[in-house]
Amino acid sequence: IQFSAPTAQSTFAFNVLSMLGEVLFTKEITAHKGVNTFDFDGNGLSNGTYLYSLGNETGTVVNKMTISK
């Protein structure tokens, strides 16, 4: 997953949710100013569609993702 951080040493919360809004996975990420990337493998999740959120104190973005193994 790739995202941009506007300031140096920003902390972001990454969450994976079921389509019903149940939090299934959470991780805190320390990002540097500019473009950042991290890997999420989804091994603990079944095939299906999920939501993920990535946010900090200035805002949150929510997107869909599909897991298929």
The reported pLDDT for the residue numbered 8 is 81
pLDDT tens profile 2-53: 998 888 888 999 999 999 999 999 999 999 999 999 999 889 899 999 999 9
Q: Which pLDDT does position 19 carry in this prediction?
A: 96
pLDDT at 6: 83
- pLDDT surpasses 90 at 60: yes
Reported pTM: 0.86
pLDDT of residue 45: 94
As a whole number of angstroms, the distance between CA 5 and CA 29 comes to: 11
**DSSP sequence for 5-60:** ESSTTEEEEEEEE-TT--EEEEEEEEE-SEEEE-----TTS-SEEEEEEEEETTEE
